[in-house]
Structure 1
């Protein structure tokens, strides 16, 4: 809707101004991702948990992981939870009335510390069902914690968390003869969708003045797990992240926990896709990845999750197993620039 502009000039001038304001409104909003503000703590810090590939009605240790998340979440006084996709197995939700939503989410993550806002994106398994059901406002009425969109930004003051819909990038979902169908109703033109999304991501990162820049996608950019690297993301998304000083890329898809460093740019690739069923012993060639300018710091092929603690000068990442034990941690610091 065009803004209401007071006008004392001629009718022609008024019409021109209204049309101009409409055009300006379209120009300024058409290339912007929806943004949600999330406050930090009073001391300016932010903490959250990251979980992926989880929704199995409590099975495959999903309930055990959820219990430990609640315990760690209370200890860290978390502010929110990030879901990296594949929220409901095996084939997403059948509709917005699917009981799997409550049986795999509401009735599983019940501890007090997890009763915070959950920010979620779609994974490839979610696209196998009614993808738009997970985007429906009706689910937020069932459980107000739930917020799932294709791509969006969480503005958490000291951190911008940019969620990117990575499934449409992957060629095999459009060309494979495997016995799966995907819900592409919201993506009438794949090429146009990807081009617009990449422009939106680049613009958002360039304009960001946040101390920490975080990008979340379902598919790994770098991984030594079952699926390995996602070549389409290496080609199209990674150069944008490298050019815009992104600190962390967080993903699921591989059912494991990983920490891989991009030596050239400093991006940390963090996989947290172990929310339920894990793939024991399924690991690709670590030496091959190390030769590509990456450094594998940690790989774990069991269930678990990740925590992130941020303040203006320090970030601490920790990975936990199904028993709540810290099995890998890593910290980094940034200089605090003071204006004199």
Structure 2
């Protein structure tokens, strides 16, 4: 009996080994390894992720994107994550105790490196709920950082050189939102001129220790997607592009469109990174200056040194991630 039992166990081991080989052949493993090798941490610098338009209780592709964010975070030894807004669909959160904090955030982004700081912007859907509750959640969660509707962080890169990160609130600048205060709660109370003055003052800081300037907002300056010809896109571009150009801002990171786009106009300094594919997707397209545009689930990853900003567009697939585009800004 013992011999028969041993033979049976050996048979199961052989079958299991064969099945594993069939499920993930050597060439598939090599392909995965090569994908992972394309993205690397920097020794003298920082790394971060950018995601947007994501909070849907794990629906659509939110869980797959969160899984791959964790994998990439580990490869890069992540420093922080940027959310470009529309953090909770369809109508924001009701309070700091709203269960959506669990179902759409805490239980989804679970990798330990995704517990590094999240610097969070507000989106239009967040204004359909209690935007103040998202600010107040900063006092409950160590990682959720939204001390105000717009704020600044100075983040050391290496040896006393800094990234100036400004997170702004673009929503009050959209005329149709301000005209509908019953839907976009509290938006009529926001002083847009005060925010613009704050931006000008912060970006005018020419301290030589600041080597990179990045601004984060929900609405895009440019898009080849659904809102390519919308008035709100034109208004945001007309208002913010001159400010970003005047102060030589290196990158503008945004969302609102449910896709992944990188746009750099030939006559402009700023490069726009649109990362709005954290969950539900929409068709996209290209516009003047488009370097990349795809409507696939995913996010963007960045490494930053004193001399270079590298950006990776990450697509989430059923079992793993793949890098579908990368670019670099050099100083």
Give TM-score, length-normalised by structure 2. Answer: 0.80
What's the secondary structure of 1:325's corresponding residue? strand
Aligned residues: 277
Instruction: Work out whether residues 220 and 228 of structure 1, in 8 Å CA contact, stay in contact via their aligned partners in 2.
Output: no
Instruction: Work out whether residues 92 and 125 of structure 2, in 8 Å CA contact, stay in contact via their aligned partners in 1.
Output: yes
Instruction: Work out whether residues 42 and 305 of structure 2, in 8 Å CA contact, stay in contact via their aligned partners in 1.
Output: no
Q: Residue 184 of structure 2 corresponds to which residue in structure 1?
A: 182
Q: What is the CA-CA distance between 1:322 and the residue it aligns to?
A: 1.3
What's the secondary structure of 1:224's corresponding residue? coil
CA distance in 1, matches of 2:135, 2:44: 30
Query: CA separation of 1:238/1:115 partners in 2, compared to 1, >3 Å: closer, same or farther?
Result: same
CA distance in 2, matches of 1:312, 1:43: 11
Misfit runs of 4+, over 3 Å: 41-44
What's the secondary structure of 2:268's corresponding residue? coil
Q: What is the CA-CA distance between 1:42 and the residue it aligns to?
A: 10
For residue 244 of structure 1, the aligned residue among 228, 247, 266 is 247
For residue 173 of structure 1, the aligned residue among 172, 177, 194 is 177
For residue 147 of structure 1, the aligned residue among 133, 145, 149 is 145
Structural RMSD (CA): 1.9
Instruction: Work out whether residues 255 and 278 of structure 1, in 8 Å CA contact, stay in contact via their aligned partners in 2.
Output: yes
Q: Residue 79 of structure 2 corresponds to which residue in structure 1?
A: 79
Q: Where do 5+ consecutive residues of structure 2 fail to align?
A: 1-40, 157-161
Instruction: Work out whether residues 42 and 303 of structure 2, in 8 Å CA contact, stay in contact via their aligned partners in 1.
Output: no
Query: CA separation of 1:330/1:84 partners in 2, compared to 1, >3 Å: closer, same or farther?
Result: same
Q: Residue 64 of structure 1 corresponds to which residue in structure 2?
A: 64
CA distance in 2, matches of 1:167, 1:74: 33
CA distance in 2, matches of 1:220, 1:239: 14
User: After alignment, is 262-271 or 118-127 more displaced?
Assistant: 262-271
Q: What is the CA-CA distance between 1:208 and the residue it aligns to?
A: 4.3
Deviations 1:148-200 (A, max 9, x none): 231001111321110110000111213369xx711116x52x5xx11111111
CA distance in 1, matches of 2:132, 2:228: 28
Q: Residue 193 of structure 2 corresponds to which residue in structure 1?
A: 195
For residue 257 of structure 1, the aligned residue among 255, 260, 274 is 260
Q: What is the CA-CA distance between 1:333 and the residue it aligns to?
A: 1.4
Q: What is the CA-CA distance between 1:272 and the residue it aligns to?
A: 0.3
CA distance in 2, matches of 1:232, 1:208: 28
User: After alignment, is 242-251 or 109-118 more displaced?
Assistant: 109-118
What's the secondary structure of 2:125's corresponding residue? helix
CA distance in 2, matches of 1:313, 1:232: 33
Give TM-score, length-normalised by structure 1. Answer: 0.78
Q: Residue 322 of structure 2 corresponds to which residue in structure 1?
A: 325
Instruction: Work out whether residues 106 and 143 of structure 1, in 8 Å CA contact, stay in contact via their aligned partners in 2.
Output: no
CA distance in 2, matches of 1:121, 1:195: 18
